[in-house]
């Protein structure tokens, strides 16, 4: 369903016909005033078409217009490109800087690691391990206790496996 404004515009443009035209004209309160307004609108339309029509350009003007448009377009592209370069160069964390920073950080880490590991002498056996190895299980206190020692020299690991030990020997004191 068209609104009144749409029907009014279609009536002014002469696009209504048949039953729709008859219904619209019947709904007008003052048909004579509406016809006068329609005639005025047509005269105004014709006047605007005559006076405000697009002026045809001569060949030289058309060529000059094309050149001005092309120059303006290239100027806009150059401005956008230089602005893009300025933005790109103004950021501090560019890809090459990130790569250099990462490489230098890894190199400093490796140097520090090598210096720390080089200065540290290989660890000796812990005093706790020596004390446990020297202690023996008292068969009176823990008759079913067994102690197994596994040593791996290349990895510097010693495993002390005790089974059935109810308490530590009396001569053992934790430090």
Q: Report phi then psi at 2, rounded to 5.
A: -80, 145
**21-30 confidence digits (pLDDT tens):** 888 888 888 8
- Alpha carbons 150 and 133: distance in angstroms, whole number: 11
For the record, the structure tokens of 78 come out as 């150059």
Q: Rounded to two decimals, what is the model's pTM?
A: 0.31
The beta-strand segments (E) located in 94-165 are 146-152, 157-163
Per-residue pLDDT at 107: 96
Per-residue pLDDT at 26: 86
Q: Report phi then psi at 18, rounded to 5.
A: 65, -135
CB distance 131 to 172 below 8 Å:
yes
What average pLDDT does this structure show over 138-147?
68
Q: Report phi then psi at 16, rounded to 5.
A: -85, 145
**96-141 confidence digits (pLDDT tens):** 889 999 999 999 999 988 888 776 665 665 555 555 555 566 666 6
**20-60 confidence digits (pLDDT tens):** 888 888 888 888 888 898 899 889 888 888 877 766 666 66
For the record, the structure tokens of 152 come out as 């791996």
CA 110 to chain CA centroid, Å, is: 33
Query: Who's near 166: CB < 8 A, 6+ residues apart?
Result: 141, 142, 145
**69-98 confidence digits (pLDDT tens):** 888 999 888 888 766 665 555 567 788 889
């Amino acid at each position: 369903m068209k609104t009144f404004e749409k029907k009014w515009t279609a009536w002014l443009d002469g696009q209504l016909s048949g039953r729709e035209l008859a219904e619209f004209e019947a709904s007008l309160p003052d048909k004579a005033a509406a016809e006068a307004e329609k005639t005025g609108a047509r005269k105004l339309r014709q006047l605007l078409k005559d006076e405000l029509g697009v002026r045809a350009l001569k060949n030289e003007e058309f060529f000059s217009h094309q050149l001005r448009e092309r120059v303006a377009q290239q100027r806009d592209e150059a401005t956008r490109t230089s602005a893009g370069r300025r933005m790109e160069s103004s950021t501090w964390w560019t890809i090459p800087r990130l790569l250099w920073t990462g490489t230098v950080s890894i190199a400093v880490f490796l140097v520090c690691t090598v210096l720390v590991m080089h200065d540290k002498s290989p660890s000796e056996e812990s005093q706790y391990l020596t004390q446990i190895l020297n202690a023996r299980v008292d068969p009176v206190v823990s008759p079913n206790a067994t102690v197994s020692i596994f040593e791996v020299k290349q990895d510097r690991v010693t495993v002390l496996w005790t089974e059935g030990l109810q308490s530590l020997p009396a001569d053992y004191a934790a430090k």
